[in-house]
Structure 1
Amino acid sequence: MSDTEIDLHALIDNTPKQLFINGEFVDAEGGKTFTVLNPSTGQPLTEVASASEADALKAFDATCEAQKEWAATPARERSEILRRTHDYLKEHTEELTYLQSAELGRALGDSRGEVAYGSEFFRWFAEEATRIRGDYRHAPAGSGRIIVHQQPVGPSLAITPWNFPLAMGARKIAAALAAGCTMTLKPASKTPLTMLFLAKALKESGLPDGVVSIVPTGKSSNVSKLLDDDRLRKFTFTGSTEVGQMLGAKAAEKSIKTSLELGGNAPYIVLDDADLDTAAEAVATAKMRGAGQVCIAANRFLVHSAIKDDFLKAVTEKISEFTLGAGTDPNSDYGPLSGEDQLEKVRRLVDDAMAHGATRHLGDELPTGLAEGGYYFPATVLSDIGEGAAIHSEEIFGPVVAVSTFDSDDEAIRRANDTPFGLAAYVFSENLEHALNVAEGVETGMVAVNKGALSDPAAPFGGVKQSGIGREGGFEGIHEYLEPKFIALP
C-alpha cells in the first residue's frame, strides 16, 4: 500500500479503541475514555477506553488463568504464533506507519523504520522459543548430577513508553510469549493505538485468549496497582528513571523479578582522528530520529577542540537540510514533539543554555506554514555553553545538538562518565584501536562506533548505573522471562 492510499480518518476509525481483555475488545468500566491528541495539531485525535482498577484486575485475572496452559504449549506452536504476528505486522506496515505518526507526531520515515524494527522482535523470539535449553552435568565433587531446567517465570506486567509505541511493547511481549509467560500490558496514554493494533494482530495470529491483555488508561496507578498482587511474577518497565525506580522499589517488596530500561544521557564522542563526514552524517540517526525523542539519542556532543569548528559547520549543514512538518506529511523529515510537556522542557533547556552564554548556530525560528497548536521545535545547534547549564546534565529529548569540547581521551571519558546514567554512547574515530579504547572506558550498556544506529533485535539492549536493570532482545532477552531450576540427582 502506498502513501497516497492511506485514509487516515478511516484508519483511526477502524483501529480498536477498547480494552483488550481475555481475547476480546471491551469497554472500560462505566464507559470511561481518555483523549489522545495529535501532536501535529494539538487537537484531539480520538477517544480510547480508560481502564479502571477493576478492569486492570480483570485483565490480570485472565493473564493468570491462561498461564498454566500457555506454559505447557509446545515451543513450536508458540513460535509459529509469533512468526505469524511478525508476518501480519509486515503486511500492515503502512497502516501501522501512519497510525504511529498520527498519535506520536513522528515523521513517516521514522515510523516505517520502527515497524520494521518492532516486528522483527516477533521473528527473532519465534526462533528463540524453540532454542530454550538447560544443562546436565556431574557435580565436581562426584556427589551427584546437576540438572538445570529453564521454566517460565509466570504472569507478567509490562508498562511501555510513548516514544516507540510498537517496539517497546513488541520486545517485551515477544520475549515473554516465547518463554511461555502470559502478560498484561499498559501502553502510554499518549500512544495507545499502536498497542491496540498489535492486540488485533496477536488475535488474528491465533494467540489463545487471555495470554496477552492490553489495558490503556488515563490513570497509570490503576494498572501499576497490580504490583500488589501476589500472583505477579515478573515486572518490566521502560520509561523515566524517577517512575521506574519508584515502581521497581514497589516490585522489590515482593521480590518480583524485574527489568527496567530507564533514562539516558548519551555522550557522542568525536575524537581528533574522526572522519567528520561520518560523524556529521550519523547525527541524522543518533539525534534527529524521532525529533530526538529517543532514549538512546545522543545528548552530550563531546568534540575534540582541534576539530570543533569543522564539526559544527558539517553538522549544521547536515541538520539544516531536514524539513520539519506534520508527522503524516510525506515531505517531513522530522515532526513535532509528543506534547506540550516535552515542548516546554526543550524550550527551558535551550533558553537556559542561551542564558549561560551559548552560541546558536541553527534553530532561531520555526519555519512558516506549520499547523497552529502543534508541538513544534526547530532543529537547533548550540556550542560554547557555560558551566552550570542544565543541558549538560539533563536528557534533552528534542532535536537539539549541544556541543562542548575536550582536549584528551582521558578528559572525554571522564566527562562521558560524569552522569548517573549509562544507557548508550557513540564514539567516532578512523583508528579502530583508538575507538575501542575509548568505547571500553565509557560506562554504558551499549556503544556505537562510527555509526548513529545502535538498536538490533538480535543484540542485548539495556543500561548500567541508573539507566536500568536487565537486558531486552538478543539471546539474553528471553532469560528475563525464565527461571533456572536446579534439580539434584544422585
Structure 2
Amino acid sequence: MLYIDGQWVQAVSGEELEVINPATKEVISKVARANGEDSKLAIESAERAFKPWKQKPAKERASYLKDAAAYLREHIDSLAETVTKEMGKPVNEAKGEINLAIDYIDWYAEEAKRVYGETIPASHKDKRLMVLKEPVGVTAAVTPWNFPVAMITRKVAPALAAGCPVVIKPASATPLSAIKVFEAFHEVGLPKGVANLVSGSASKVVGEMTRNPAVKKITFTGSTEVGKKLMRDSADTVKKVSMELGGHAPFIVFEDADIDKAVKGAVASKFRNAGQTCICTNRIYVHENIAEEFGKKLSGMVSQLKIGNGLEDGVAIGPLIDEGAYEKVDEHISDAKEKGAKVLCGGKKASVDNQNGWFYEPTVLQGATDEMVISTEETFGPVAPIYTFTTKEEVVERANHSEYGLAAYCYTKDLNQAYFMMEELEYGIVGINDPIPTTAQAPFGGLKESGIGREGGHHGIDEYLEEKFVSLNIG
C-alpha cells in the first residue's frame, strides 16, 4: 500500500512490487508499485499540508514525533522481524537499528523547540536587524535498503520537526519496513498530507520529485552515481539538496595500538550487516611490524562468525541483498587473489543448510595492494583486505587517495598521533579507537564525493530550514 494524504491507497496503475527475502529467495509480500502520477499526488498532498503544519507550535509538532517513537518502541519485535525478512540482517542488529531510528525521532522532537533566530547589532539607531529561520517547504526523501528504518527517521524526523511535510520513496527492496514506520504516523494521528509514502519505480517516482517545483528540498542516501544524477535533475528548479553518498573507509592500526581491541573493532565495523553499510571498513591498514599478528587474530575471530538466516539464534552474517551484490563480492575477491592477496579465511560463496539465499563467507585477505579493484571500488560485502604501512605520513596519503570521504577509523594509544590523524584524515566522520561512531546527537555526513550536508544532531534540522534576513526601520 501507498500512504498519501493520510490514507492507505493502491497505486493508480494497480501494479504491484514483489518483496523477496534474500535468505530464501522467496517472495514474502507484494506492495503497490507507484509511478510518477502517484508521486505527483503525494507531492500535492504535502503541498496542501505545508502551511497548516508549519504554523503549528513546535511543541505540538514534537508531540506527534514523541507519540510515533513510543508506538515504534512498543512494536520493535515485529518491526525487527520485518527488517530481517526483507533485507537479511540478523534480528538483533535489526533491533539495534530500530532503537537508533527511535533515537532520531526522540532527538528531533526536542530540536523542534530549539529553532532559534538571531538579532544582529544594527549600524544605525533607527534599524533593527533580525534573522528568522523558516521551514524550506515540501521535502522529498529517497532512502536505501541497508538501514530501511533508521534512514527514514533520520530524514523524516528533522523535516517534520522543522515544519516540512515529506514524501518518502523507500528502496524497492525494503518497502515493508517503511510501511511499518508509516503505520506509526497513521496511528498517532499525524495530520493528513504531512507524511506520504510512495514505493515503486525509482525513475518515475523520483523523476517527478526532481521535476516538480512544489518540492523545495531533496534528501538522498545512496550511491554517489545516483546522487550526482539527482543533483543534476534538481538543478532546473534550484532545490536545496542534502546527500549522504558512497564511502570507502580506511581502518588504520598503528604499532602501539591494542591489537585485540583493534581486531574487535574491525569485526564490528566491517562485518555488521554483512559489510553492507556505507561507513563500514573497506581498507585495513596495519603497521608492518604487527600485520601478521593482526591478520591471524582477525581471521580467527571472523572464521567463528555464524552465517545464516538472520531470524536464527546466534547468526552474525546474513545474506547479501541480491545476486548483483553477491557477484560483486566474488569478483572483488577473485581480482585480489589474482594480484597476490592471500585468503586467510572465507573467500567463497557460502552454503547454508535449508537456505537458498545469497550467502557469502566472511573473508579476510592478507597482502592487499593499492592496485586491486577492492582498493578503490566500494565492495559492500563481508570482505576485509589488509594492507601494510610504515609511517603515519604514508598511511594518511594512501587513506586519503579516494574520491570518497565519509568515514575513517584509527587505532592508537598515542594522543599526539590521534590528533594528527583526526586532523589529517579527509573524512566527515573519524572514529579514534571507536568502530561505531554513529549516534543521533552528532552530525553524520561526508566530504568530497561522499556527500553534501549533515544528518543528526542540531546540524541535521538546519538542512530543512531557510534563513530570512529582516531589516526593520523604526525611525
* Alignment TM-score > 0.5, same fold: yes
Give me the whole-angstrom Cα distance separating, in 1, the residues matched to 2:255 and 2:202.
49
Give the aligned partner of residue 20 of structure 1: 3
Q: Tell me the distance in 1 between the aligned counterparts of 2:334 and 2:175.
A: 32
Partner AA of 2:381 in structure 1? G
Pick the aligned partner of 2:16 from 18, 33, 39: 33
1:442 corresponds to: 425
CA contact (8 A) 1:109 1:333 kept: no
Out of 66, 81, 85, the position equivalent to 2:68 is 85
Identity of aligned residues (%): 40
1:425 maps to which of 408, 427, 430? 408
Q: Which residue of 2 aligns with 1:215?
A: 198
Counterpart of 2:277? 294
Alignment of 1:47-446 (within 5 A): 47-140=30-123, 144-365=127-348, 368-446=351-429
Moved more, 417-426 or 37-46: 37-46
Secondary structure of the corresponding residue to residue 253 of structure 1:
helix
Question: Structure 1: how far apart are the matches of 2:354 and 2:202?
Answer: 29
| SS of equivalent to 1:345 | helix
Say if 1:318 and 1:74 are closer, same or farther in 2 by CA, change over 3 A.
same
Matches of 1:56 and 1:167, distance apart in 2? 22
CA contact (8 A) 1:356 1:387 kept: no
Report deviation, 1:359: 0.3
1:247-299 per-position Cα deviation (integer Å, ceiling 9, x unaligned): 11111222111000000000001111111011001123211110000000000
The TM-score normalised by the length of structure 2 is: 0.97
Q: Are the counterparts in 2 of residues 385 and 404 from structure 1 also a CA contact under 8 Å?
A: yes
- Structure 1 residue identity aligned to 2:384: V
In structure 2, the partner of 1:454 is 437
Q: Which consecutive residues of structure 2, in runs of 5 or more, have no partner in the other structure? A: none
- Secondary structure in 1 aligned to 2:365? strand
Match of 1:466 among 445, 449, 468: 449
Alignment partners' CA distance in 2, 1:387 and 1:434: 24
Q: Structure 1, residues 37-78: CA drift from partner, whole Å, max 9, x if none?
A: 100011211111000211111111101010000000110000
Secondary structure of the residue aligned to 1:30 is coil
Shift of 1:337: 0.4
Q: Deviations over 1:153-173 (max 9, x none)?
A: 001111001100001110100
Give the residue type in structure 1 aligned to 2:7. Answer: E
Say if 2:198 and 2:205, in contact at 8 Å, map to a contact too. Answer: no
Partner Cα distance (1:384, 1:377) in 2:
21
Count of aligned positions: 473
RMSD of equivalent CA atoms: 1.3
Task: Between 117-126 and 318-327, report the one with greater CA deviation.
Answer: 318-327
Distance 1:142 1:290 in 2: 60
Deviation of 1:387 (Å): 4.5
1:146-193, Cα deviation, whole Å (9 max, x unpaired) = 101100000111100110000111010000000000011100001111
- One-letter amino acid matched to 2:118: D
TM-score in terms of structure 1 length: 0.94
Report the counterpart of residue 458 of structure 2 in structure 1: 475
- SS of 1:273's equivalent in the other structure is coil
The more displaced of 313-322 and 187-196 is 313-322
- Give the residue type in structure 2 aligned to 1:153: V
**Secondary structure of 2:435's partner?**
coil
Give the whole-Å Cα distance in 1 for the aligned partners of 2:263 and 2:450: 26
Q: 1:312 to 1:368 in 2, by over 3 A?
A: same
Following superposition, the deviation at residue 224 of structure 1 comes to 2.7
**Aligned mates of 2:261, 2:430 — CA distance in 1:** 16
Q: CA–CA distance in 1 between the matches of 2:85 and 2:352?
A: 18
Aligned counterparts of 1:458 and 1:387: Cα–Cα separation in 2: 36
Partners of 1:271 and 1:383 in 2: CA distance: 17
